[in-house]
Amino acid sequence: MKEVIKIEGGHALKGTVRISGSKNATVALIPAAILANGPVTIVGVPNISDVESLAVLLRDLGVDVCFKAQDHIIIDPTHMQNRPMTQDAVQKLRASYYFMGALLGKYGRVEMKMPGGCYLGPRPIDLHLKGFEALGATVNYEHGAYIIEAKELVGTKIFLDISSVGATLNVMMAAVYAKGRTIIENAAKEPEIIDVATLLNKMGAQIRGVGTNVITIDGVETLGGCFHEIIPDRIEAATYIVLAAAAAEEMTVENIIPQHLESLLSKLEEIGVEMKVDIDKVTIKGRNPHLKATDIKTLPYPGFATDIQQPLTALLTQAEGQSIVTETIYTERFKHCHELNKMGANINVMVPSSFINGPTRLSGAEVVATDLRCGACLVIAGLIADGITEISEIYHIDRGYENLDGKLSALGAKIWRETIA
């Protein structure tokens, strides 16, 4: 038995959708909260399966986790114990690696299985490990688990070969309790990093320079509890904006930070999507039959986000001419193209680029969500296709999108779940 999402295409969407708190910030904020010595309340937590997985890991460490109201989580690490993180839940979730930096920072030792997540090609954690070693830790790999330990972590200058979000956050968490000053050069600038640093500073950390490529961290002796509200999810916002351009008469996407979406909004304008951007929302007039093809190259923030290229590809199948998407972050991120071709798209993949020839008429088909953003891409394709699209492996979608089918139904989509043999 498996659960699938089915979509009947061709229904014009209309209305307003509210964006949830950032998934990519949440999965780092929750591990960061264990650095405190008192309760941390986080508001705006999206109701996604990754949060459930993190709550399981926290409870295994003896952390009290309490979900209040719809989107509040209270994390109390007062009775926490530094236990080995070798359970299967670690391998379900790539973001579990943030416990490496947090536990190393707090206890000077962490034992952990190799983390999992969506397969998007090689995503090595050697940058994280090099950062920990620079702070004075030793790293050993035994029986499928990393053992990272240090008698004392000492601040130093660390240059990241790639401006990796994960490595920036992990080194930042390890360094908050380190002795002296740590400087991270070529740091990533994503909004989620600013959000995590804001939480840590509220707890009493001394972190400066986030949002630039040089972050300075002065180690402190203790961190206390605090209250924090998560930023809106820029990738969920981008997904609904692209979805509106593809399938809506008129749709408003609210609870966004437009500045976080500049690379997408300017690209949509260029291809002919009509939009009105306000302080915290954007209204899109969609279904333009004369969209123009474009070229996109994914880059670290503030460049075009790799997470958005897959949903956008579904829209580009409707644009006139050949669009080229070049992927510089995760070179394997083209599995969605094969699925779109099953629906009638005309896409050629020559890694690291895909060549999308349009416009093509899409027809409903049985397709597979090979990863989280591929799932979002196929939902958009299903909304504009003739007939019924059946998407399997939908647990990927539930990892990152809160109540996707509920939000779309409220906008007029014909979307439902079925359990099939």
Distance of CA 120 to the CA centre of its chain: 13
Q: Is the dihedral of CA 341, 344, 345, 347 positive or negative?
A: positive
40-43 and 227-229 beta bridge pairing: parallel
Which of 373, 383, 333 has the alpha carbon at shortest distance from 353? Answer: 333
Q: At which residue do the structure tokens 């990093």 appear?
A: 193
> 287: phi > 0 → left, psi -120 to 50 → alpha, else beta; which?
left
Question: Given phi > 0 = left and psi -120 to 50 = alpha, else beta, which region is 343?
Answer: alpha
Q: Which residues 6+ apart lie within 8 Å of 70 measured at CB?
A: 47
Determine whether the annotation assigns residue 24 to a binding site.
Answer: yes
CA distance 302 to 130: 25
Residue 23 is assigned to a ligand binding site: yes
**Considering 118, 226, 374, 377, which one is annotated as catalytic?**
118
Q: Helix (H, G, I), strand (E, B), or coil: what is residue 305?
A: coil
Q: Calculate helix-pair angle for 306-316, 372-384, nearest 10 degrees.
A: 20
**329 is known to lie in a ligand binding site:** yes
3 state SS of 123: coil
Residue 89 exposed, middle or buried by CB count within 10 Å (0-12, 13-18, 19+): middle
Type of residue at 328: T
How far is it, in rounded angstroms, from Cα 343 to Cα 361?
A: 8
For the chain, state the CA radius of gyration. Answer: 22
Strand 295-297 versus strand 321-326 pairing type: parallel
DSSP state letters, 166-216: HHHHHHHHHHTTSBSEEEEES----HHHHHHHHHHHHHT-EEE-BTBSEEE
Is 124 labelled a binding residue? Answer: yes
Determine whether 118 is an active site residue: yes
157-159/366-368 β-pairing: unpaired
- Residue 125 assigned to a binding site: yes
DSSP label at residue 227: E
**Residues with catalytic function:** 118
The binding site comprises: 23-24, 94, 123-127, 307, 329
